[in-house]
Amino acid sequence: MFFVDDPHAETGSDEHGDYIVVIIRVAVSDDHDALADSVDVYVRPERPDTWVGRGSAVETRLHLAAGVCSVAKEISVNVYDSAGNLGTDVIEVFVNRFC
């Protein structure tokens, strides 16, 4: 479990609510097979989509709906190796604001 607590992070509002911008950095390795180029990052629940990008550094907005003080976001990473094997990892991030 990780807590996003960065007073210098970019914040704002859009049609989906208030947000904080985070960069999700992904490091992968495989002892047996070469890694494919695709590392997919998902955030749930999130709007407008749960897929936020592909690569080793993905920038995304984590939203809070109006009137919500804290919400848990699940960030999952999927990576395939050259043999087609899928590896996944999931972390939970809490986005908070003073209410």
Q: Give the domains, in start order, of the chain with CATH numbers.
A: 2-96 (2.60.40)
Q: Which helix (H) or strand (E) holds 70?
A: strand 70-81
What's the rounded Cα separation, in Å, for the pair 59 and 42?
A: 11
Place of tokens 């993905």: 58
- Residues in the chain, overall count: 99
What's the rounded Cα separation, in Å, for the pair 70 and 83?
A: 40
pLDDT at 2 over 50: no
Determine the residue type at 66.
A
Q: What percent of the chain has pLDDT over 90?
A: 0
27 close to 39: Cβ distance less than 8 angstroms: no
Mean pLDDT of 83-99: 83
Give the pLDDT confidence score for residue 1 in this predicted structure.
40
Is the whole-model pTM more than 0.85? no
